[in-house]
Chain A
Amino acid sequence: MTTMAPKAPPAIELIGIDKSFGPVHANNNVNLIVERGVIHGIVGENGAGKSTLMSILYGFYEADSGEIRVNGEPVRIRSSREAISHGIGMVHQHFMLVPPLSVLENVMLGAEGGPLLAEGAGAIRKRLAELGREYGLVVDPDAIVRELSVGLEQRVEILKALVRGAEILVLDEPTAVLTPAEADQLFEMLRVLKSENKTIIFITHKLREIMSLTDRVSVMRRGEMVATFDTASTSPPELADAMVGRKVILKVEKGPSHPGAVALEVRNLVVRDDRGVARIDDVSFALREGEILGVAGVAGNGQSELLEALAGIRGLSSGEILIEGKTVPAQKRNPHMERLLGVGHVPEDRHRVGLVMPFEACESAMLGFHREPVYGKGFFYSRSAIVSDAEKKMESFDVRPRAPLLKTANFSGGNQQKIVLAREIERNPKILLVGQPTRGVDIGAIEFIHKRIVAQRDAGKAVLLVSVELDEIFALSDRIIVLCGGHITGERRPEETNAQDLGLLMAGVSERAA
């Protein structure tokens, strides 16, 4: 401290990192410099490549090309072990904890300090107590992790990294699972860590967090690092702009909507996930015939649960769903019943949910409708009816190749999606639920799919569109609601809003500042 030392090298330098998964270019020539002792935010939309980049830094994947430097030294990180040895610690979005083990055991795992646990346990206990005092990271070391709250689990993850001597801490979407109060506590901890000269890389979608926590912020978009700012000298709109970018605006030919009667009404809906957490919390809205209602929001804010509840896959905890003014008793709600009531559903994940990949296309094209008489009467179905029905659907949705007998898995993403859409739309539903209709779909197919969705609206159908792609929401919606944390944070008409405005709503900044 007495002499003016030459400026310390950055904690992390990523130079020209490139990584592809098959045809997906997840990281394209990414450069990033993170200075020592700062909180550096990385923002970007879903699939922008943030998680891949951090996985490369932590040795989960190896980059196809590029260089990593830690404290100015070029290093190769081929495994988590090597990352740890370079002082890098990571808090994964899905915690890497062993639920039936105690906090102490989880922290010790991989850092036991000898073949017998007793040898290291004392030292780690002491270290945990120290860390508790220094940073306010207090957790009972003998508590069983399964019984901890999510916030405490995350604290254990951070402690794991610190006990291993992490100087650089990477947090991947750390607030996604936290309550606001827990998030505030986390921020407090991170500020203390920073004051101890630790370096923190903080990945998030949420601009509010970037603004309140970070010193610098880098923006990723479509696998590329597009900008880096000093947080003090930027603003949420500027960041939102950089995140969304000046994309090719998808223009869909579309006249004004002529909304008719209410087709679907949701009243005070509460939907819980498998762990019992309310993912949709007191949501009400109405959807009319002849309109497209877009549901915008960052992934994981309840959209999936909303769609599943509406489609009859997931039960309701409370509230009501009315279809054409009539409510269906809870015990009778199931996907089959919903289909009979005229609800079509294009699920968010066609691989896992919407299609059966090993099946022939014609068989995937009847999933959910396989009991209908078009496919033959009685116990047996008619192969020729199935094939000709599939041919008709493939023709009308221009699925290529026009091969009903080809395995579903052998179609491209766009054509698989067209099979799902054809199946749900050709059955002439009154209400169409559409989730992420163009995820992993090529440009040509996107345009086609968008046109068909608009055509449904023009035919007087009520369309609910869930998408994390703001462009898509803008291009298609007649009305937009924004979900954040299971609540509707706002409603807009597309012509009276913009990406920045929606971005703020998506980030949970309720209602526009006057």
Chain B
Amino acid sequence: MEWFNAFIVVFASGMRLAVPLILACFAGLWSERSGIVDIGLEGKILVGAFGSAAAATFTGSVWLGLLAGIAAAVVFSLIHGYASIDQRANQIVSGTAINMVADGLTALIGNAIWSQGGRTPQLPAEAQFGAINWPFVNEIGPVPIIGPIYQHLISGHDIVTYIAFLLVPITYWALYSTRFGLRLRAVGENPAAVDTAGISVRGLRYGAVMICGALVGLAGVYLVLSQEAYFQPHMSAGRGFIALAALVFAKWRPWPALGTCLLFGFLDALAIRLQGMELPIIGPVPVQAIEALPYILTVVLLAGFIGKAIPPRASGIPYVKER
């Protein structure tokens, strides 16, 4: 039972670590399903985090922080959209630029305002998202098996976490059951088909890019308003790229994306948990191996050794009407 409880704690920690991955991964899913490749997720997490930290610090309002974080990331998304959709830019170059500008600008402004090397002041508790405790947590908690699951996995998370997990069925539904979702899936595969059906390719793609911005901004918001209570330069720490890896690994599909993000989050939690521990036979745990596993798995998948990850066919290709 002890073993089980320990597992639940690691799993709950993995869940929390998975939240920003899920948000960023689904941001990428919306964008790439419309045919816009986005390697700028990493930068936009930072922008969202910084926007929310700055606004929450100035106003003391967690909700204004949330809005500001989302708005800031959407602005950066629109720059990428403008380059990719209207200027027919190389989307990889544009995403790289977004990452660099975001990384530098957030640290620069943070430092200029607060003079703490880019770090923003610690937010008071009322400017953070608190855990939402479900009814009867204390009563159910001690019950074996069900108790820890209820207490640690279901109850006790903040609102962004619940949004992130709700996002999966919502995305699935929106993608497969709505007009917008149908058009979006179509435009990422064959924009000419969408165009000849009398639908604006440009409008669809801008819509997708804005959804992407909002979701990836929320990932940044989570880091600040739910986890750390301050912004720190480079605090995204590669999550944008792990999310990208998860997206590839999930072959751009919502439910597998959730599974992959949970797996990657869980690996992260495990690495933290096993840090410095000695295992029988293996000896000290090679934490780096666990940390690198998401990337290695993704490369192996991309190499076609376990199935084939085929991106939406039109992704990365600017749409030009042809003769």
Interface residues of A (CB under 8 A from B): 21, 51-52, 55, 58, 60, 79-84, 90, 92, 96-101, 105-106, 108-112, 114-118, 120, 160
Pick the residue among B177, B178, B186, B323 that contacts A101 (CB under 8 A): B186
Q: In the complex the two chains form, what is the Cα distance from A238 to B197 in whole Å?
A: 38
Q: Would you call A117 and B190 a contact (CB within 8 A)?
A: no
Q: In the complex the two chains form, what is the Cα distance from A110 to B176 in whole Å?
A: 15
Q: In the complex the two chains form, what is the Cα distance from A98 to B180 in whole Å?
A: 15
Q: Would you call B196 and A114 a contact (CB within 8 A)?
A: no
Q: Which residue of B lies closest to A55 (CB)?
A: B323
Pick the residue among A52, A92, A99, A120 that contacts B196 (CB under 8 A): A92
Q: Which residues of B contact A120 (CB under 8 A)?
A: 179
Q: Would you call B198 and A97 a contact (CB within 8 A)?
A: no
- Whole-angstrom distance between the Cβ of A351 and the nearest chain B Cβ: 13
Q: Which residues of A contact B183 (CB under 8 A)?
A: 109-110
Asked whether B152 is an interface residue with its Cβ less than 8 Å from the other chain, the reply is: no
Q: Which residues of A contact B300 (CB under 8 A)?
A: none
Asked whether B16 is an interface residue with its Cβ less than 8 Å from the other chain, the reply is: no
Q: In the complex the two chains form, what is the Cα distance from A108 to B181 in whole Å?
A: 12
Most B C-beta atoms less than 10 A away, residue of A60, A106, A110: A110
Q: Would you call B182 and A112 a contact (CB within 8 A)?
A: yes
Q: Would you call B197 and A105 a contact (CB within 8 A)?
A: no
- Whole-angstrom distance between the Cβ of A48 and the nearest chain B Cβ: 14
Q: Which residues of A contact B196 (CB under 8 A)?
A: 58, 60, 80, 90, 92, 96
Q: In the complex the two chains form, what is the Cα distance from A114 to B179 in whole Å?
A: 7
- 29 A-B residue contacts at CB 8 Å? A21-B323, A55-B323, A58-B196, A60-B196, A79-B198, A80-B197, A80-B198, A81-B198, A81-B199, A90-B196, A96-B193, A97-B190, A97-B193, A98-B186, A98-B189, A100-B189, A101-B186, A101-B189, A105-B185, A108-B182, A109-B183, A109-B193, A109-B199, A110-B183, A110-B197, A112-B182, A115-B179, A117-B182, A160-B197
- Whole-angstrom distance between the Cβ of B113 and the nearest chain A Cβ: 43
- Whole-angstrom distance between the Cβ of B150 and the nearest chain A Cβ: 34
Interface residue count on the B side (C-beta < 8 Å): 23
Contact A98/B179 with A60-B196, A92-B196 known, Cβ cut-off 8 Å = no
Q: Would you call B198 and A117 a contact (CB within 8 A)?
A: no
- Whole-angstrom distance between the Cβ of B187 and the nearest chain A Cβ: 9
Q: Which residues of A contact B180 (CB under 8 A)?
A: 115
Q: Which residues of A contact B178 (CB under 8 A)?
A: 115-117
Q: Which residue of A lies closest to B179 (CB)?
A: A112
Most A C-beta atoms less than 10 A away, residue of B180, B190, B193, B321: B193
Contact with A along B190-209 (1 / 0, CB 8 A): 10111111110000000000
Q: Which residue of B lies closest to A114 (CB)?
A: B179
Q: Would you call A109 and B197 a contact (CB within 8 A)?
A: yes
- Whole-angstrom distance between the Cβ of A118 and the nearest chain B Cβ: 7
Q: Which residues of B contact A98 (CB under 8 A)?
A: 185-186, 189-190, 193
Q: In the complex the two chains form, what is the Cα distance from A223 to B178 in whole Å?
A: 44
Q: In the complex the two chains form, what is the Cα distance from A112 to B180 in whole Å?
A: 10
Q: Would you call A60 and B199 a contact (CB within 8 A)?
A: no
Q: What 9 A-B pairs have minimum CB-CB distances, sorted nearest first?
A: A110-B197, A81-B198, A96-B193, A112-B179, A96-B196, A98-B186, A80-B198, A98-B189, A98-B190
Q: Which residues of A contact B190 (CB under 8 A)?
A: 96-99
Beyond A84-B197, A117-B177, 6 extra complex contacts between A and B, CB < 8 Å = A80-B197, A99-B313, A101-B189, A108-B182, A110-B199, A117-B179
Interface residues of B (CB under 8 A from A): 176-183, 185-186, 189-190, 192-199, 313, 321, 323
Q: Would you call A109 and B321 a contact (CB within 8 A)?
A: no
Q: In the complex the two chains form, what is the Cα distance from A83 to B192 in whole Å?
A: 15
Q: Which residue of B lies closest to A79 (CB)?
A: B198
Q: Which residues of B contact A160 (CB under 8 A)?
A: 197
Q: Would you call B199 and A99 a contact (CB within 8 A)?
A: no
Q: Would you call A116 and B177 a contact (CB within 8 A)?
A: yes
Q: Which residues of A contact B176 (CB under 8 A)?
A: 117
Q: Would you call A60 and B177 a contact (CB within 8 A)?
A: no
Q: In the complex the two chains form, what is the Cα distance from A92 to B192 in whole Å?
A: 11
Q: Which residues of A contact B193 (CB under 8 A)?
A: 96-98, 106, 109
Q: In the complex the two chains form, what is the Cα distance from A117 to B190 in whole Å?
A: 19
Q: In the complex the two chains form, what is the Cα distance from A322 to B103 in whole Å?
A: 62
Q: Which residue of A lies closest to B321 (CB)?
A: A60
Q: Which residues of B contact A83 (CB under 8 A)?
A: 198
Most B C-beta atoms less than 10 A away, residue of A90, A98, A115: A98
Most A C-beta atoms less than 10 A away, residue of B185, B189, B190: B190
Q: Which residues of A contact B197 (CB under 8 A)?
A: 80, 84, 96, 109-111, 160
Q: Which residues of B contact A100 (CB under 8 A)?
A: 185, 189
- Whole-angstrom distance between the Cβ of A513 and the nearest chain B Cβ: 38
Q: Which residues of B contact A112 (CB under 8 A)?
A: 179, 182
Q: Would you call A101 and B185 a contact (CB within 8 A)?
A: yes
Q: Which residues of B contact A79 (CB under 8 A)?
A: 198
Q: Which residues of A contact B182 (CB under 8 A)?
A: 101, 105, 108-109, 112, 117
Q: Would you call A118 and B189 a contact (CB within 8 A)?
A: no
Pick the residue among B179, B192, B195 that contacts A116 (CB under 8 A): B179
Q: In the complex the two chains form, what is the Cα distance from A63 to B196 in whole Å?
A: 17
Q: Would you call B198 and A84 a contact (CB within 8 A)?
A: yes
Q: Which residues of A contact B198 (CB under 8 A)?
A: 79-84, 110
Q: Which residue of B lies closest to A116 (CB)?
A: B178
Q: Would you call A80 and B195 a contact (CB within 8 A)?
A: yes
Q: Which residues of B contact A109 (CB under 8 A)?
A: 182-183, 186, 193-194, 197, 199
Most B C-beta atoms less than 10 A away, residue of A92, A99, A117, A120: A117
Q: Which residues of B contact A97 (CB under 8 A)?
A: 190, 193
Q: In the complex the two chains form, what is the Cα distance from A83 to B197 in whole Å?
A: 10
Q: Which residues of A contact B177 (CB under 8 A)?
A: 116-118
Q: In the complex the two chains form, what is the Cα distance from A115 to B181 in whole Å?
A: 10
Most B C-beta atoms less than 10 A away, residue of A52, A92, A101: A101
Q: In the complex the two chains form, what is the Cα distance from A81 to B196 in whole Å?
A: 8
Q: In the complex the two chains form, what is the Cα distance from A112 to B185 in whole Å?
A: 14
Q: Which residue of A lies closest to B197 (CB)?
A: A110
Q: In the complex the two chains form, what is the Cα distance from A438 to B199 in whole Å?
A: 39
Q: In the complex the two chains form, what is the Cα distance from A114 to B178 in whole Å?
A: 9
- Whole-angstrom distance between the Cβ of A144 and the nearest chain B Cβ: 12
Q: Would you call B192 and A96 a contact (CB within 8 A)?
A: yes
Q: Which residue of B lies closest to A59 (CB)?
A: B198
Q: Which residues of B contact A99 (CB under 8 A)?
A: 189-190, 313
- Whole-angstrom distance between the Cβ of A56 and the nearest chain B Cβ: 12
Most A C-beta atoms less than 10 A away, residue of B179, B185, B195, B323: B179
Q: Which residue of A lies closest to B199 (CB)?
A: A110
Q: Would you call A110 and B185 a contact (CB within 8 A)?
A: no
- Whole-angstrom distance between the Cβ of A338 and the nearest chain B Cβ: 31
Q: Would you call B194 and A110 a contact (CB within 8 A)?
A: yes
Q: Which residues of B contact A90 (CB under 8 A)?
A: 196
Q: In the complex the two chains form, what is the Cα distance from A100 to B323 in whole Å?
A: 24
Q: Which residue of B lies closest to A115 (CB)?
A: B179
